[in-house]
Structure 1
Amino acid sequence: MPNDVVALDGGRPGKAQLLTQEDVQRLLVDPAPETRAKTAAKIADNYTDAALGPDERRLAQDIFEVLVRDAALIVREALAEHLKHAADLPEQVATTLARDVDSVALPILRHSEVLSDAELLSIVREAAPSRVTAIAQRAQVSSAVCEAVIDTGQSEAVAHLVGNEGAEIAQADLERVLNEFAEEPAVGDQLARRNHVPPLIAEQLVARMSARLHDVLTERGHLDPDSVSDLILQVRDRAVLQIADQSRESSDLKSLISALAERGRLTDSLVLRALCVGDLAFFETAMAHMAGVPLANARILIYDEGKLGLTSLYRRAGLAESRLPAFRAAVQVVRETDYDGGPNDRARFTARLLERLLTQFDQDGTWPGDDLYYLINRLTRVAA
């Protein structure tokens, strides 16, 4: 490479000098594609790194508009790879590269911020798998583009989309993913790993995974069916309570509890376990929902100093009469035990609550047996 191409010498110690017409001409007439590719890469690097002044940037853009039509694939590949992060690349240049063959298009489709949603939607609707997958992996994917990716039905692209925390996937579209790609392990795995999944989606995912685990354990025959069912129920209930505990909005919690009730999964065992691990918001909201009374009224009845309030609410909720003493005991401990307000207050509160409840079980034998194992396990983990 001649030394007079001073803006492209690869160094960064000072401001690059203005590219000359001779430099442009050399790019246009040099017969060696490798030379043009190397020069294109250096110009693109300087452009992306903001090493060029305003006049030089305009000249570089003129060069790009020529090179995107270069007959040599190696030149266009070099250009795409080195311009994929250029924030102010002319839209026409980015669009032309994005419409090229895959080796040129994919780096731009995955990384370039210049491409508009309209252009991305147009490309997704053409449904070329490699291109849809590249778009699904962009740092930011709008909800409209997410919907279009899911519409393609391409499981590999959808798996990448669901695993992409920068993808703005609407709750309705997550529900579609859960329903339409239920048999695709890669999609389910990425959905399970996704942060900030809406509580309703997370609960449905837990239910599906629990059902699969139930089938696997039953088929292997290492445990009897009743033991498998008990094990799966405890795993699922713990997961549901963790999901509920992470619900930051009261509306999310109410929606989750309503959905659990509709699917027959809002059991007295689950509500009791929520109470015993100190998830009072879940307990109170669930009791209000099952009894069909406003939450404020339910709270007054639950914490009534006498037995009438809780008993009336409990029976109106239709819960098992045999567990009423356990609920009464747990609520009594809640009344007597306050949060400290210090670090890890929830953990200490839960530990004290469970200790009291387990002690009471030893005294009068009223604690339901299937919940005892859960509570002992929970207490052990809290104390560790």
Structure 2
Amino acid sequence: MTAYRARLTEVDIRRLIKATDEDERAAAAHKLCRSMDKAELDDEGRAAAQKILRLLAEDAAELVRRAMAVTLKASDLIPHDVARRLAADVDSVALPIIHFSPAFTDDDLIEIVRAGSSVRQVAVASRPRVGRDVADVLAETGSEPAVRALASNDNADIAEAALGRCVDRFSGSSEIVTALAYRQVLPLSVTERLVELASDAVREHLIARHAVAPETAIRLANFARERATIDLVDQAIGQADLGAFVAGLNARRVLTASLLLRALARGQMALFEHGIAELAGAPHARAALMIHDAGPLGLRAIYDRAGLPPRLFQAFRAGVDTWRTLQAEGVDTSGDLFRQQMLERYLTQRPHAPREDMAYLMERLDQTPAVVQPKGAAAA
């Protein structure tokens, strides 16, 4: 077998030297490289093979160099100097070698990453093994596709600080967040950052697959519920048919006392009126009349008919009274300024609202933008 390989190598060497056509030389290079890679070479044979590879690496034809790079991309036969030469070649030659060759040191790979080519960074990040120092540099300077490839590579040794850097740089990339979330091993600090950024499905995977503190899981569940409630309250502002919108909420069983109290505290009286009417099974006009009845019984009667918790009545009463007071002061109840004033005034009364609802309202107050004074207005 060895003698046959030797004869094949000699034939192909002569063919490679004599051939003038690039395609023919590339085919000869492919066969020669495959033969040398499979041969059982002693030290002398290995040295001779590497001399041939150095000649191939200098061939003027890109097709020949590519044939060598593809055929020997994962071989330990390619010497270090040839690997570096091929890595500096055109992409069609360089990428297979960068992606697979064991000839490179970590310093070589870091040099390739820092050169800045995104496709070559991806090739480094996708290698069968990526050392910690190389991963650090990719996390710090790699392009988005390269960091995504790194995050997807469970054979990359990525330190906790480097994982955090990936999150810092690409927290807005759902693909990178998802790739990080599906790594086999994640430190707790990174997991807890990712759960705030991930989609619902990925968040569930993180909580189920990785260690998350119980209090974090509870906080995340509350966050998801609050986010859904916030969305519903905000969505109501732009509804042309608020009655139908509220009926849809009730059909989904999300027309809760908490939702109505948050809407009322944020000045969305129309949503509150339609919500009470829906729950009480009363026409909107009748429910609104009872809510705004100045007497002591109207609000209480429609509130009880709606089946809302008795313990929260005073919190609702405070909201209605605050809304009525601001209306009497001549404030336009349809604008953002009113909603800010309503929320501020309501919270100063220390209403007996549930803790989670108060936390939500305080968070919304923090998110409310300050009213910008018109240009040219006199300073107070």
> Structure 1-normalised TM-score?
0.51
SS at match of 2:81: helix
Identify the match of residue 96 of structure 2 among 97, 100, 107. 107
1:176 alignment counterpart? 165
What amino acid sits opposite 1:79 in the alignment?
M
User: Which of 47, 50, 74 matches 2:36?
Assistant: 47
Give the match for residue 144 of structure 1: 133
8 Å contact 2:140–2:162 — kept in the other structure?
no
Say yes or no: does 1:244 pair with 2:224: no
Q: After TM superposition, give the deviation of residue 19 of structure 1 in Å.
A: 6.8
The answer to whether the 8 A contact 2:154-2:183 is kept is yes
Q: Please tell me the root mean square deviation across aligned C-alpha atoms, in Å.
A: 3.3
Q: Using the alignment, how far apart are the partners of 2:122 and 2:220 within structure 1? A: 39
Aligned residue type for 2:52: I
Q: Is 2:184 the partner of 1:195?
A: yes
- Please give the alpha-carbon distance, in whole angstroms, between the structure 2 residues aligned to 1:66 and 1:85: 19
Deviations 1:133-182 (A, max 9, x none): 11110000011111111222411110010000111000111111122111
CA distance in 1, matches of 2:177, 2:207: 17
Higher-Rg member (1/2): 2
Fraction of identical pairs, as percent = 34
Structure 2 gaps of 5+ residues are 223-380
2:6 to 4, 8, 17: 17
Tell me by how many angstroms 1:126 deviates.
Answer: 0.6
The answer for the alignment partner of 2:144 in structure 1 is 155
Q: Name the SS for the 2:6 alignment partner.
A: coil
- Which residue of the other structure, out of 4, 18, 24, is the alignment partner of 1:35? 24
Q: CA deviation at 1:59?
A: 2.3
CA displacement 1:265-284 (0-9 Å, x = unmatched) = 4999xxxxxxxxxxxxxxxx
CA contact (8 A) 2:140 2:165 kept: no
- Size of the aligned set, in residue pairs, is 223
> Is residue 85 of structure 2 the alignment partner of residue 118 of structure 1?
no
Q: 1:171, 1:198 within 8 Å by CA — same for their partners in 2?
A: yes
| Pairing partner for 2:58 from 60, 69, 75 | 69
Q: 1:132 aligns with which of 112, 121, 133?
A: 121
Note if contact 1:16-1:52 (Cα within 8 Å) is conserved in structure 2: no
Q: Distance in 2 between matches of 1:91 and 1:242?
A: 41
Q: Give 3-state SS (helix, strand or coil) of 1:244's partner.
A: coil
Shift of 1:35: 1.9
C-alpha distance 238-32 of structure 1, shift in aligned 2 (>3 A): closer
Q: Aligned-pair distance for 1:207?
A: 2.6
> How far apart are the structure 2 equivalents of 1:184 and 1:135?
21
Matched residue, 1:208:
197
Change (3 A) 1:237 1:158: closer
1:162 maps to a residue whose letter is A
* TM-score, structure 2 normalization: 0.52
Show the 5 A alignment for 1:361-380: none
Q: 1:166 aligns with which of 123, 140, 155?
A: 155
